[in-house]
Every structure is written in C-alpha cells, then in structure tokens.
C-alpha cells in the first residue's frame, strides 16, 4: 500500500480527498467517513489517535482532506496494515503554478531594481 506525498509540503494539492483515501485503504466511502474524526458540533475536533484525523477546515462546507502521513499512520496503527509505504512524487506543474512562478520572478526583479536605486 502506498500513499502519494509531494516534497513541497502540505499544499492543498498534496492532500488526499475521500476518494484517494478510499482507494489507498481499499475501503468503502462509508467506511472512510466512519473512520474520520468528525463531530457535527465541532468544526475541528481535537486529535484522536484512534480515528483518521482530517486537515483543519475553515468552514463545515469544505470537503474533508487528509495528509498522506495521517492516512499511513491510521492504516498502520489502527487498521493494522503491516506494509505501509509513502512514495515521494514530484508534483507536476500546472498553469496556475507557472503563472504564480512568473509573477514571483517579476516581483523579485522589481524588488531588486528598487533596492539598487540610490
């Protein structure tokens, strides 16, 4: 069993949605929701080592997302799946990331130009 994780950290693109967790754990969607540490009265309930803990959410309408390390921990510690592997995969750049990178480079050039003025 392997779980994708990017070297970039915990950006939203490296988090796993319900479908990805379902596929990784080979469990039904309903099971994943049953495993999840959710509470209708609390938006972000405290960490529970016996449950699958989602990432923090700003609104109850946001979908549940899970960090690959948390899914791997849950699979190993709670479900007792013996062989759990986290694969490091380089994230493929998309148009938005390319645009943001171009904006960052331009802002850095402007900053450098302003800084070098007498």
Residues of the domain holding 37:
2-91
**In a domain? residue 117:** no
Report the domain count for the chain. Answer: 1
**In a domain? residue 105:** no
Instruction: For residue 71, count CB atoms less than 10 angstroms from its CB and return exposed for 0-12, middle for 13-18, buried for 19 or more.
Output: buried
**In a domain? residue 72:** yes
The tens digit of pLDDT for each residue in 26-66 reads 899 999 999 999 988 889 999 999 999 999 999 988 999 99
> Looking up tokens 């302003």, which residue turns up?
114
pLDDT tops 90 at residue 103: yes
Q: What residues pair up with 85 in beta bridges, in sequence order? A: 2
What's the N-to-C CA distance of the chain in angstroms? 59
**In a domain? residue 118:** no
């Amino acid at each position: 069993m392997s779980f994708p994780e990017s070297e970039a950290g915990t950006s939203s693109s490296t988090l796993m949605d319900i479908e990805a967790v379902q596929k990784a754990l080979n469990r039904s969607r309903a099971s994943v929701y049953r495993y999840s540490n959710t509470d209708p009265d609390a938006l972000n309930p405290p960490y529970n080592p016996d449950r699958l803990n989602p990432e923090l959410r700003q609104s109850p309408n946001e979908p549940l997302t899970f960090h690959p390390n948390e899914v791997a921990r849950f699979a190993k510690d709670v479900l007792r799946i013996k062989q759990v592997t986290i694969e490091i995969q380089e994230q493929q750049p998309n148009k938005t990331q390319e645009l943001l990178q171009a904006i960052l480079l331009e802002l850095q050039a402007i900053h450098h130009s302003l800084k070098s003025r007498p």
